Amino acid sequence: MCRGKPFYDLALRCQYFLLDQNRGTTVHNVVISGTGLYTPANSISNEELVQSFNTYVQQFNADNAGAIEAGEIEPLAESSAAFIEKASGIKSRFVMNKDGILDPQRMRPHLPERSNDEMSVLCEMAVGAARQALERAGKTAADIDGVIVACSNLQRPYPAIAIEVQQALGIQGFGFDMNVACSSATFGLQTASNSVQLGQARAVLLVSPEVCTGHLNFRDRDSHFIFGDAATAVIVERADLATSAHQFDIVSTKLLTTFSNSIRNNFGFLNRASDEPADSPDRLFVQEGRKVFREVCPMVAELIGQHLEENQLNVADVKRFWLHQANLSMNHLIVKRLLGREASVEEAPVILDTYANTSSAGSVIAFHTYQDDLPSGALAILSSFGAGYSIGSVILRKR
């Protein structure tokens, strides 16, 4: 290992270990040179979602009136748009399919199976975001050596969605999928950055296609409003090859995981080997919301604070926090713990109100949407957190 000052973040430790093993290896500076966003055409407002949910509730209570009166089951409670916005900060969400979700008899997206010769849904979304990122970075497929698909739910086990994206865009090199739930993009950024730093790729395309409505229980009052669909893309490349107008140095990355059942989804290939019903609620998104809030917020603030300190940076110098877009109150609390005061909307921008929680894509949507106004030299944090528990922190500096 390299002697002297200890290196805390994993990316730097990997660099210096390799240099110690092979003195001829060049470690490259790495930048984010372009981002892209795919937004579905359809949007659902809180009011539309509540109308569908309440119709379902009324029908359920009517169908089970006898059992409810006998005390055998509890009646379901209706929801309201005001409750949703107060609890989460969400006003609407973009979705891949609207009609199926709003049908009280169905209450899930309607996405017909595609043939193996057709582009998969996740690939289609990823390619849409990737083309935009490539354009912003001033790159073509020939400039990219690797593709990483990092998201919370993959459409199939194999072949990897990343390899399908690679083929669709005409990219040579490698591709693979990874899943760290809502933290997938920041974990993917460290993975992509390491590949570029160590000369394994000139540039890596990181995409996070999220069809979160596919694993959401729209019959659950506490969570039916949480998610939306979207896809993001990021070009991670060598600084000496970057030519785009807006570039961000990847100063450092830091990751943390600690096991928790407070956010869970039990869907998997072994479900068919059990005798549980195929539509069991635990095979969709399930969380203990209050517990997650109580446990995750201090963990995120502590990790970001430690990350800055380890890099001899002051939190007061951070001009922008692009945080995971899960809950407005969570983000307010995290930044307040860091700054010791309320953050302005410029310091901690929000896209949650119109996109809802798009899992791993959320913090990157905020980054994509609110980056161009930052001056050269501005310090920023990109952070995501979620199931696992998992937390990722990326320190960026505008070039």
List, by residue number, the catalytic residues: 182
Q: Is 5 helix (H, G, I), strand (E, B) or coil?
A: coil
Closest CA to 328 of 90, 94, 50, 92: 90
CB 99 within 8 A of CB 44: no
Specify the residue for token string 């990122």: 133
CA angle 136, 212, 125 (to 5 degrees): 35
Phi, psi of 126 (to 5 degrees): -60, -40
Helix axes 10-21, 184-197, angle to 10 degrees: 20
Spatial distance between the Cα atoms of 60 and 50, rounded to a whole number of angstroms? 15
Phi, psi of 294 (to 5 degrees): -65, -35
Give, rounded to a whole angstrom, the gap between the first and last alpha carbons of the chain: 30
CA angle 161, 164, 168 (to 5 degrees): 140
5-20 burial by CB neighbour count: b if 16+ within 10 A, else e? eebebebbebbeebbe
CB 186 within 8 A of CB 210: no
CA angle 307, 391, 4 (to 5 degrees): 30
CB 362 within 8 A of CB 382: no
Q: Is 70 helix (H, G, I), strand (E, B) or coil?
A: coil
Which sign does the torsion angle of CA 321, 324, 327, 331 carry? negative
| Cis upstream peptide for 159 (omega within 30°) | yes
Closest CA to 254 of 385, 390, 392: 392
